[in-house]
Amino acid sequence: MPIEILMPALSPTMTEGNLAKWVKKEGDKIRAGDVIAEIETDKATMEVEAVDAGKIAKIVVPAGTENVSVNSLIAVITQDGEEMADLDSFIAKFNKPAPQKTEAPKAATPAAVDAGQPSVVHAPAATSAPGLGAAPRFALPPLTAATKAISAPAAKHDGARAFASPLAKRIAEQEGIDIGLVEGSGPRGRVVKDDVLKAKQQGAGAGFGSSMVRRNPVEYAMEPVSNMRKVIARRLLEAKQFVPHFYLTLDCTLDKLLEVREDINGAAPIGADGKPAYKVSVNDFVIKAVGLAMRKVPGVNASWTDEGVATYSNIDVSVAVAIEGGLITPIVRNADQKHIVAISTEMKELAAKARANKLKPEEFQGGGFSISNLGMYGIKEFSAIINPPQSCILAVGAGEERVVVEKGQMKIATQMSLTLSVDHRVVDGALGAQYLNALKGFLEKPATLLI
């Protein structure tokens, strides 16, 4: 039985293309996978590969024909030993429109053939492209966003066919460029003409000849999402959707705080292991200052509810800790009442338990205010997303030397940027500003944190 070769749909939106070239000619024997033709679209020149073995008995559409409709017959293959006595009659029959019935119309069925479509199909239809009816036998699979990993055929350096357009191959051969080393920008990482020209220009300019970095044929890999990451994603999405955020930023000077921190750490007793009993961090000072500022401006220690604004009696500060697969916010309870060294010791224990996944529910559930500190990563300033039902979260940047002006004179000072994210339903701009200024006062006068 003869096999029809149809004009392929090389993309979901393609309706016609140009038959640029026949790689095989009438009478040639072909095998599955052989390139038999080149098709031009508005975006690229692509090859058509055979999926059946046999002999090309007839080329219906000659090379150079433009605007060939998708699914139209372009060639016929016969099997070994099979002869076509009347090939022209077969082609005419294939292209003949479906006969019109004069009887009363019936409800359309899924198997009905649209007018103008081929009326004889000798092989199962491939995956359909939207709006195009049955896809041709040789159509390449369309790229979709749902594809988990898209792999292009690896370039080979032993003379095998590279995944590139014919024009790109010819230019690469003329310019002495190894096509397998050229990064492709076409569909599925295919190398096109512009890629080869770019490779030529970059290689000549850098003095590296034709040696280029090759594109990874696997475009992306899909990683499974942990339950923790799903919960984080859902809560953050809800926070940005339903909590009206606004942001306040100010800078505070840390020079005095750093001096006090050095004195406290220098006074730490040495244990039997030869290590100091404690080592206070800048973040420990921030936790203490946040707690004292909440006591001074209690309006930020509150949450929005349908019944009203709930103002908390105790001062509990949540601190974001990065762990594998996400983050968690263990709580320093009564942070306003604890000494700096006690906060430092407790925070280290909570962080270690968090990373070991050993926190108890009461150690991370609740809290009236959150701190997110990225200063240790060198982040100068950022805005954090509120952790409901809390109404505020403080984003702490890195302490760094900056040029500041004081009484008309320039000097170098260590400064840190603080950004407060606020739920406007609970905290207005003026109240948020009062809180930040109170916090700034405690950090710039660290002696007040030790009283």
Cβ partners under 8 Å of residue 283, min gap 6: 319, 347, 371, 373, 375, 396
DSSP-derived 3-state class of residue 105: coil
Asked if 285 contacts 449 with a C-beta cutoff of 8 angstroms, the reply is yes
- CA-nearest of 364, 358, 285 to 332 is 364
Q: What is the mean pLDDT of the chain?
A: 81
Distances (CA, A) of 412 to 276, 396, 399, 405, 444: 31, 20, 13, 9, 15
Supply the pLDDT for residue 184: 82
What is the β-pairing status of strands 409-423 and 400-406?
antiparallel
Cβ partners under 8 Å of residue 385, min gap 6: 236, 239, 240, 245, 393, 421
- Range in 6-15, 93-102, 298-307, 374-383 the model is least confident about: 93-102
- Range in 140-149, 228-237, 245-254 the model is least confident about: 140-149
- Range in 112-126, 231-245, 384-398, 417-431 the model is least confident about: 112-126
What letter would DSSP give residue 276? B
- CA-nearest of 226, 274, 215, 287 to 449 is 287
Asked if 20 contacts 38 with a C-beta cutoff of 8 angstroms, the reply is yes
Supply the pLDDT for residue 392: 97
- Range in 77-86, 122-131, 162-171, 289-298 the model is least confident about: 122-131
Burial of 441 (0-12, 13-18, 19+ CB in 10 A): middle
Residues tagged active-site: 424
DSSP-derived 3-state class of residue 75: strand
Supply the pLDDT for residue 148: 41
To which H or E segment does residue 166 belong? helix 166-175
- Range in 22-26, 281-285, 310-314 the model is least confident about: 22-26
User: pLDDT digit string (tens) for 310-364?
Assistant: 999 999 999 999 988 788 999 999 999 999 999 999 999 999 999 988 888 889 9
Question: Can you spell out the DSSP letters for 205-269?
Answer: HHT-TT--PPPPS----PPPPPHHHHHHHHHHHHHHHHS-EEEEEEEEE-HHHHHHHHHHHHTPP
Supply the pLDDT for residue 149: 40
Supply the pLDDT for residue 12: 62
To which H or E segment does residue 351 belong? helix 340-355
Supply the pLDDT for residue 68: 87
Q: What is the largest CA-CA distance in the chain?
A: 106
Supply the pLDDT for residue 212: 54
Kindly state the average pLDDT of the residues 154-158: 42
Kindly state the average pLDDT of the residues 390-409: 95
Tokens 């599955």 belong to 32
Supply the pLDDT for residue 64: 86
Q: How many residues are listed for the chain in this entry? A: 451
Question: Can you spell out the DSSP letters for 143-158?
Answer: P-TT-S---PPPP-SS
Kindly state the average pLDDT of the residues 72-99: 69
Supply the pLDDT for residue 226: 77
Q: Own/partner pairs for 196-205, CB < 8 Å, 24+ apart?
A: 196/164, 196/168, 196/171, 196/172, 197/171, 200/175, 203/177
d(CA 312, CA 219) in angstroms, rounded, equals 50
Beta bridge partners of 35: 49
d(CA 237, CA 20) in angstroms, rounded, equals 50
Supply the pLDDT for residue 344: 96
User: Which value, in Å, is the radius of gyration of the alpha carbons in the chain?
Assistant: 35
**Taking 50 as the threshold, does the pLDDT of residue 54 lie above it?**
yes
Helices (H) and strands (E) counted in the chain, each on its own, are 9, 19
